[in-house]
Amino acid sequence: MDHLDALEAESIYILREAKAKLDKLAILWSLGKDSNVVIWLCKKAFFGHVPFPVLHVDTGKKFPEMYAFRDRYAKEWGLTFIRQECPPLEATDPGLPPAARAAARKTLGLKAALEKYGFEGLILGIRRDEEAIRAKERIFSPRDESGQWQLKDQPPEFWDQYMTSFPRGTHVRVHPILNWTELDVWKYTRREGIPVIELYFAKDGKRYRSLGDRDITFPVPSTADTLDAIIAELETTTIPERAGRAMDHEAEDSFERLRRAGYM
Amino acid sequence: MSGAAARPLPIVILGHVDHGKSTFVGRLLFETGSLPEGKLEAIRASSARRGMPFEWAFVLDAMQSERDQGVTIDTTQIRFRTALRPYVVIDAPGHKEFLKNMVTGAARAEAALLVVDAQEGVQEQSRRHGYLLHLLGIREIAVLVNKMDLVDYSAERFGAVAEDFRAYLAELGLEPRAIVPVSAREGDNLLRHSPRMPWYQGPPVVAVLDSFPYAALPVDRPLRMPVQDVYKFDQRRIVAGRIESGRLRVGDRVLFSPSNKTARIKTIEAWHVPEPPSEAVAGQSIGVTLDQPIFVERGEIMSHESDPPLLTNVFKARVFWLGERPLTIGSTYKLKLATSEATVTVEAIEKAIDTAELKPLPPERIERNGAGEIVLRSKRLLALDEFRANPRTGRFVLVEDYVPVGGGIVSMEGYPDQRQLVTVRASNISAVGHAVSRAARAARNGHKGGVLWFTGLSGAGKSTLALALERELFAKGYQVYVLDGDNIRGGLCRDLGFSPEDRAENIRRVGEVAALFADAGFIAISSFISPYRSDRQRAREAAGENFHEIYIKADLAVCEKRDPKGLYKRARKGEIKDFTGISAPYEAPENPELVVPTDELGLEDCLALLLRYVEEHFRL
C-alpha cells in the first residue's frame, strides 16, 4: 500500500463509520477539489453509490464554471442533490470584517438547511493542513445545540474510535479527509481521474488554489496548467493554500471566530 | 525531488509544560526550511505589535486562545521535511488537564520525542507521558534534553538528566533510540552537531528522526477483519470492513466471531478498479461477498477458521483513565473494541498506578490521568485478541455518557478462551427419547435426580464435605455419587492439563457427566474448584432443571492456612502455574442456591446444613 492507498483506506473507514453510526447525514459540496474527493471516496466506500444527500449551500456568487460543474456532475454521479440558498449579507454579524461577513452567509445558509431537512450531521472535506485552526479538529466533531464548536473541550479520539453517539440536539461534523494534504488531494485526483473545475488551472499566469465566492477569492500567480504541473508546483511552494481567501487575512482571529460560530 | 513519494512519518512531541516543546517545533521548522513564506516575518511583526519579544513557540501559537492562556491546549499538526522524507508533527500539550488531547495526538504517532528541561530534569508529565507511550504501544522514542544553553552546555548536567530518564523508561520496558542534548532556542544539535557541545558524540535530532522506521502493517499476523457494515445497495450483499491484520483471498473459508458462522469468500468487491481484486491485505478497507447467505452483522470479527480470535465475557486489561469521574469497581461502561460495542462492568481493580511516580495506589479507584489493571466482564461473549498477539483487536475504548473516558489493552492472563462453549462439533446428533422417564426413576428411588455442584477455593473443604455427604445420603437410601479429581482426572480427563483452556474443558466434561448421572436418577455431587462463572453456567445448562450451585466458602487466608496438600506453599514459590486464588482468578458465585461457610461453621454444622438442603429439595 502506498501513501494514497493508506489515506483512501482511512477515509473509507471513516465514511462507513459515519453511515453505520449516524442518522440523517448529508455531504457538504462546495464544488471544490476537496469535496469532489469526498464524493469520490463515498463511491469507493459504498461500491459505486453515494448513500447521503449532497448539499450545496449557494451564496449565488460562485463562478459560472462552478455552477456548470455542479449541474453536470450532480447528474453524472447520480447524486441526491440539494441546493440551499443563503440569506442576504444583512443577516450576518456586522461585527465581522467584510470578507468574513460574506463568508458568514454560508454559515447561516447551512443552519437553515440543517433545520429544514433535519440533518443530524454533515460530512465535510476540510483538512488539517489548510489552516491552523482546522488542524485542531477531530474526525467526528460534535457541535452543541447552538451550533458552537467547543474547541477547548473536545472529546478524545484515538485508536480509530470516534465519538459516535451524542446527547439529543448535538450536531456532528464528520471529516473524512482531515489527515490529507492539498498535495494528497491533487495526487489522488490525478490517480483516480476525478473531474475538476477549470479555474484551478493557470490562465494568463494565474490560477485559483482555493475556490470561494467570486468577490472574496483571488487567483495566485502560477503557470501550472495541468494536474502534473499543479503537483510539481505544490511540491516546492511555501505559499499557503488559502492565500487567496480574503476572509482569512482580515484579522488574526477571523477564521477562528467563523469556525466557532459554525463555519466549515 | 528525493523522497517525494514517501509517506509522512507521524511523530509526537511530548514533555512537561514549559520544557520547550513548542519552541523546539518552531525552531525545527525553521532549521529544515519548512516555514511557509512570510510566516516568520508575520509573527515577528505581530510580537512587536504586542510589545513581546519574539519566541519560536509563537510559530505554533496560531490561535488567540493559546496566546492568552500561554499553553498549547490541543494537538496541532505541522508538517516538515528533511532531506530523507516528510514528517507530520503532532505537538501535544504538556499541561496535565489536557492529557486527553495528548492521547488523541500521541495515538496517531509512530514515533515520539520526549522533551526534558535540562535545569528542571524529569518532571511529573515527563514520566506520565512515558507511561502513556508505553500503554499506547509506541516503542520508537528519543529524548531531547532541552535548554542546554541555560546550564552552560554542561556534560555533567546532561548525563544526570539522561540517566534519570533512561532508568524510568527502562522500568517500562522502553529504550530510547537516542538521548540528545539540545537548545531549541539556539538551534543547537537540531540539524547538525553543535560546536558548543563537542563532548556529545551521538546524532543530532534530525538524524535521529530519520532513523525511526515506519510502522509496518501487520500483514503476517492472523486475518482480522472487523465487520463495519453489511450493504445491500444493489443485488450484491457486501460485508464491508477494514482488514486490521493478515491477508485474504477469494475462495478462503472464513469464520465470523462471536456468532461462530462460516462461509467462503466469493468475491472481493471494489469500485473504479481495472479488475476485481483476488486478494486483500492489512490496512485496506474492503468489501466481500460470501458463498452462503449467512446472517452477519456489524461488530463481528472475520478471521480464518484455523486462527480465530478469542471469545470471552471476562478479561483483564491495563487501562489509562481520562474521565472526570474515577473508574470504580462495579461501574458500567460502554466498551468499543474494533467495530463491536458491549456493556461491561468493572469487576475488580487489581492495581491502580500513579503514572507520574509509578507507585501503586490503593486499588479502589482509578482517578483521572491515572492508570491501572482491571477485570472487565460483559453480559455477552466478545471476540477479541490479547494486545500482545494483535494490538488492533486487542485494545478498546470505554465510553461513559457518550464521551470516551478511557482506553485499555487486553490480557487474558488466567482466563480461558470460551470458544469451545459455542462450538458444537457434532451437530448431526439428535436426542433419542428414553423409554424410562425421569419421573419413573424418581418414583422408584424416592427422590429426584440432580446435581449438587460444589465450588470453592482449594482447601475450602469441598472434598471433605462431598465425601461425608455421600456417606450420609447413601445411609439414608439415596442414590448418590461423588465426582472429583480422583475419579475424573485419572480416566475421562486423562488427556487434560491445567492450563485455563484445559481446566475449562475438564469442567465441561464433569458437567456433562454430572448431567447424565442426574438424568439416571442419581444425586451427583461434583467437587471441583471450578473457578469460572462461565464454566459453571455451562454445567447448569447441561443439567437442565435440577442443578444446585453450592458455594463452599472460606477466605483465601483461611484456605492458605489450612493448605492440606501443601499446594498454596508451592504456588507461592511459583512451582505451580495458574493456581486459583494465587496466580489465577476465582470468580465467586453471584447467586448460589446455598452457601456453606466452612470458615464460620464446624464440619458437623456444615454437613447438617447440606443434609437439610437435600431433604428439602430432593425428597419426593
**What whole-number distance in Å separates Cα of residue B5 and Cα of residue B529?**
61
pLDDT score of B554 more than 70: yes
Are B449 and B441 spatial neighbours (Cβ–Cβ below 8 Å)?
yes
Question: Domains in chain B, ordered, with CATH?
Answer: 9-211 (3.40.50.300), 225-304 (2.40.30.10), 313-413 (2.40.30.10), 438-618 (3.40.50.300)
CA distance B41 to chain A (A): 14
Task: Read off the pLDDT of residues B397-425 as tens digits, 9 standing for 90 and up.
Answer: 999 999 999 999 998 887 778 776 665 44
A51 in contact with chain B, both atoms CB, cutoff 8 A: yes
**What whole-number distance in Å separates Cα of residue B113 and Cα of residue B91?**
10
> Stretch A181-205: mean pLDDT, rounded?
95
pLDDT score of B426 more than 50: no
pLDDT of residue B386: 94
**What whole-number distance in Å separates Cα of residue A145 and Cα of residue B111?**
38
Are B458 and B568 spatial neighbours (Cβ–Cβ below 8 Å)?
yes
Task: Read off the pLDDT of residues A66-95 as tens digits, 9 standing for 90 and up.
Answer: 999 999 999 999 999 999 999 888 888 888
Residue with C-alpha cell 535545569? Answer: B119
**What whole-number distance in Å separates Cα of residue B303 and Cα of residue B547?**
36
Are B377 and B393 spatial neighbours (Cβ–Cβ below 8 Å)?
no
**Closest partner CB to B402 (pick from A17, A46, A166):** A166
pLDDT of residue A104: 85
Radius of gyration of chain A (CA): 18
**What whole-number distance in Å separates Cα of residue A201 and Cα of residue B362?**
65
> Stretch B485-510: mean pLDDT, rounded?
86
pLDDT of residue B485: 83
Q: Is A16 helix (H, G, I), strand (E, B) or coil?
A: helix
pLDDT of residue B496: 87
> Stretch B320-342: mean pLDDT, rounded?
95
Backbone angles phi, psi at B14, to 5 degrees: -125, 160
Strand ranges (E), B306-427: 310-321, 327-328, 332-337, 340-354, 359-361, 365-366, 371-384, 395-400, 403-411
**What whole-number distance in Å separates Cα of residue A103 and Cα of residue A101?**
5
Backbone angles phi, psi at A199, to 5 degrees: -60, -20
Residue of B135, B139, B74 lying closest to B321 (CA atoms): B135
Task: Give the DSSP letter of residue B57.
Answer: G
Task: Read off the pLDDT of residues A136-152 as tens digits, 9 standing for 90 and up.
Answer: 789 999 987 676 777 67
B530 flagged as catalytic: yes
The three cell numbers of residue B193 are 552537531
More reliable by pLDDT, A11 or B497:
A11
Are B337 and B396 spatial neighbours (Cβ–Cβ below 8 Å)?
yes
**What whole-number distance in Å separates Cα of residue B411 and Cα of residue B374?**
10
Pairs of CB atoms within 8 A across A/B:
139
Contact assignment for A181 to B79 by CB distance below 8 Å: yes
Quote the mean pLDDT of chain B: 88
Residues in chain A: 264
**What whole-number distance in Å separates Cα of residue B128 and Cα of residue B140?**
17
Q: With bands split at pLDDT 50, 70 and 90, how would you rate the model's confidence at B91?
A: low
In percent, how much of chain B has pLDDT > 70?
92
Mutate to test the interface with B, among A160, A186, A252 (most CBs of B within 10 A): A160
The CATH number given to A3-180+250-260 is 3.40.50.620
**Closest partner CB to B64 (pick from A3, A19, A256):** A256
- Run of H or E residues at B79: strand B76-81
> Stretch B549-563: mean pLDDT, rounded?
93
Contact assignment for A158 to B281 by CB distance below 8 Å: no
Chain B residues with beta carbon closer than 8 angstroms to that of A41: none
Chain B residues with beta carbon closer than 8 angstroms to that of A6: 7, 283
More reliable by pLDDT, B50 or A24:
A24
More reliable by pLDDT, A251 or A195:
A195
Contact assignment for B271 to A163 by CB distance below 8 Å: no
A 75-134 residues with CB < 8 A to B: 128-129, 132-133
Please give the residue of chain A at the shortest CA–CA distance from B276.
Answer: A47
> Stretch A231-253: mean pLDDT, rounded?
73
Residue of B532, B468, B475 lying closest to B502 (CA atoms): B532
Most confident of A94-98, A216-220, B397-401: B397-401
Task: Read off the pLDDT of residues B213-250 as tens digits, 9 standing for 90 and up.
Answer: 998 889 999 999 999 999 999 899 999 999 999 999 99
pLDDT of residue B2: 36
Are B142 and B180 spatial neighbours (Cβ–Cβ below 8 Å)?
yes
Are B606 and B598 spatial neighbours (Cβ–Cβ below 8 Å)?
yes
CA distance B71 to chain A (A): 12
Are A256 and A133 spatial neighbours (Cβ–Cβ below 8 Å)?
yes
pLDDT score of A250 more than 90: no
pLDDT of residue B66: 37
Residue of A177, A174, A131, A171 lying closest to A36 (CA atoms): A177
ipTM of the complex: 0.92
The domains of chain A are located at 3-180+250-260
> Stretch B76-90: mean pLDDT, rounded?
82
Chain A residues with beta carbon closer than 8 angstroms to that of B343: none
The three cell numbers of residue B544 are 437442565
pLDDT score of B3 more than 60: no
Query: DSSP string of B500-537?
Result: HHHHHHHHHHHHHHHHHHHHTT-EEEEE-----HHHHH
Give the Å distances, CA to CA, from A14 to A22, A178, B228, B243, B336: 12, 10, 10, 14, 15
- Strand B480-484 with B359-361, pairing: unpaired
Residue with C-alpha cell 465510553? Answer: B399
- Run of H or E residues at B290: strand B285-290
CA distance B314 to chain A (A): 21
pLDDT of residue B61: 62
CA distance B79 to chain A (A): 8
> Stretch B23-44: mean pLDDT, rounded?
82
Please give the residue of chain A at the shortest CA–CA distance from B46.
Answer: A252
Please give the residue of chain B at the shortest CA–CA distance from A157.
Answer: B104
Residue of B14, B19, B38, B41 lying closest to B185 (CA atoms): B19
pLDDT of residue B1: 36
Q: How close are the terminal C-alpha atoms of chain B, in Å?
A: 91
Task: Give the DSSP letter of residue A135.
Answer: G
